[in-house]
Amino acid sequence: MSSTGQGSAEAREKARARAEAIAYREQNAKDRAKARTLPNMFWALLACFVVVAFLMIVTWRPKEEKVRAVEYSAQLEDARKVASWVRGPSPMPGGWAATSVEFRAPEQAPMTWHLGVVTDAKKYVGLEQSNVTGPKYQSDELGRTSDDGTATVGGVTWQRKVLLDRKDEKALVLVGSGVTTIVTGNAGYPALETFASSLR
């Protein structure tokens, strides 16, 4: 074969190889375009969502709020030795639990008694007492309030109050014999009255 014929054969072979390469790239581009169609993307995303949802269901655990009850009886008895006017629930309403307790008897300041309680409905009730009868103690404990009538508990009349600075909180206030007793919280008047009736 002459050199001219051999060169033509090589040129044709190169042209054929280039044409095959171009055709392959075009077909590959078409295949990729088909793979990126909206239906395929939809099913791919749906598969991802299913996997994520499955993992969330398997690993998710509800967080239960655990009430950390405290023993208050011993501190109540100790407080009564210093201040006979201190009161506490006897007995504690069923399903309720004390969560905080504090008695303060400083030498140059009023004595105060606090007992915090969580009801069986997971609402808060607090008992605040002091040997102070002026309005400042009530203001310090409750903030701004408005009178809301009265409640009779065990034959004793308490003043009902709505706490203006705290959402959904109310209070029962009893002032007498040199002592202020406050029962307050977001449990509603019936629960506050139940607690007040248990105080001994």
Identify which has the larger pLDDT, 94 or 56: 94
State residue 59's pLDDT score.
Answer: 61
Joined together, the tokens standing for residue 26 give 């075009």
Question: Would you say the pTM of this structure is higher than 0.75?
Answer: no
Identify which has the larger pLDDT, 136 or 59: 136
Q: pLDDT category, 34, cuts 50, 70, 90?
A: low
State residue 35's pLDDT score.
Answer: 58
Is there a contact between 119 and 187 (Cβ–Cβ < 8 Å)? yes
Tens-digit pLDDT profile for residues 63-96 = 555 778 999 999 999 999 999 999 999 999 999 9
Q: Is the dihedral of CA 91, 157, 128, 190 positive or negative?
A: positive
